[in-house]
Amino acid sequence: MFWRVLERELRASRARLALALLVVLSGSAVVSAMLNLQLDIDGKLARMFRVFGANVVVTPAAGAGSLAVMDEAVWNRIAASRDPQIVGAAPYLYAVARIPSGSMDAIVAGTDLARARSLDSWWKINGNWPNAAGQALVGSRLARKLDLAPKSRFRVQYGGRSEDLVVAGLLTAGGHEDNQIFVNLRDAQQLAGLPRQISLVQISVAGSGHEIQTEISRLAVVLGGVSVRPIPEFTTGEAQLAEKIRSLVGATVGLILALTVLGVLASMAALATERRHDVGVMKAIGGPAPRIVRLFLAEVGLLAVGGALGGCALGFPISSWISQRAFGTSAGAEWQVVPLVAALMFGAALAGALPLRLLGRVRPAIILRGEGWSR
């Protein structure tokens, strides 16, 4: 009998309920899209920030002396690692060399150029990457000072040693790299007289802030005798951006839930006015108040569940579209979002159904006489 009455009420009020369902459907579509995007935001931000290079640096331990270099074996252990969190790494040896042609000093950075190219993929090169000994990348600002262009030749001197270099390309990075000279690691070691020595290793570690810190702790233990620390410009900026996006998503979800409550509230207020005669008849023939309340709660539940499921079906593609536009990769469906959205929509629909409480004040005799609500 309960389900027959429920079916009748649904059919009789299908216009009002359809409007309320549309409100819940729209709200749950936006909420599910935001929550689905939120669950993968850390990973997407981590991948996006990795385009900008290293976020962890390995240097000689404190007290290593003024020379501040370490054995190349540290780099070899990192390069041989199969840790999936390490998505890129490159060794560096720095020396302040003299450039006779310009009567000035400049930093010569020796590195594994293939690794550096992968790690710093955002660098802009005018010319070519060095592919042989004696070739160099020259920072664009330094090149202007020295009047250098691709294929130009120049000499660098350090500690009584000198080396002739050919400009393979000009580097524009927008930072201190624009004033440096990048050469093969072996060339830099020969120039500095430091065979098998490096100054530091730059590492790009994927993951959330907590995962990056865990990887730093692991590397410190595995490598031993060196300092492993994050590059704050990247790790702090990434964490701050992630927190701002979470706050934005939370505010959006809160606003959508409030609008959903208001939309359902308007529909249910009109529905309560329509239902007062039906409730009066139910009470007149002996229908208990708890059963009548359960009847309306069942309607609210069906409204919330139907709207949530339909909203998630729309929200997941919306989430994937937003992710594709913002991060360049689509977002998969996180199915744990569905019960969460259903719970939120049930709460919103229940809050919006408060006008149905007026039906509990209906007095059958007054309604049947056509006098409206009781006082």
Please tell me the total number of residues recorded for the chain in this structure.
375
57-66 pLDDT, tens digit per residue, is: 999 987 555 4
Distance between CA 308 and CA 346 in Å, rounded? 9
With a CB cutoff of 8 Å and minimum separation 6, the contacts of 349 are 20, 24, 260, 264, 300, 303, 304, 307
Structure-model confidence comparison of residues 151 and 248, the more confident one: 151
Q: What pLDDT, on a 0 to 100 scale, did the predictor assign at position 169?
A: 96
Residues above pLDDT 70, as percent of the chain: 74
Answer whether 305's CB lies under 8 Å from 346's CB. yes
Matching residue, tokens 């000499």? 155
pTM of the model as a whole: 0.63
292-316 pLDDT, tens digit per residue, is: 667 677 777 777 788 888 888 888 8
Distance between CA 305 and CA 126 in Å, rounded? 59
pLDDT band at residue 18 using 50, 70 and 90 as cut-offs = confident
H helix intervals, 224-286: 232-284
Domain ranges within the chain, ordered by starting residue:
2-46+239-368, 56-230
Tell me the range of 114-128, 202-216, 339-353 where mean pLDDT is highest. 114-128
Distance between CA 71 and CA 115 in Å, rounded? 18
Answer whether 85's CB lies under 8 Å from 78's CB. no
30-46 pLDDT, tens digit per residue, is: 888 888 877 777 666 66
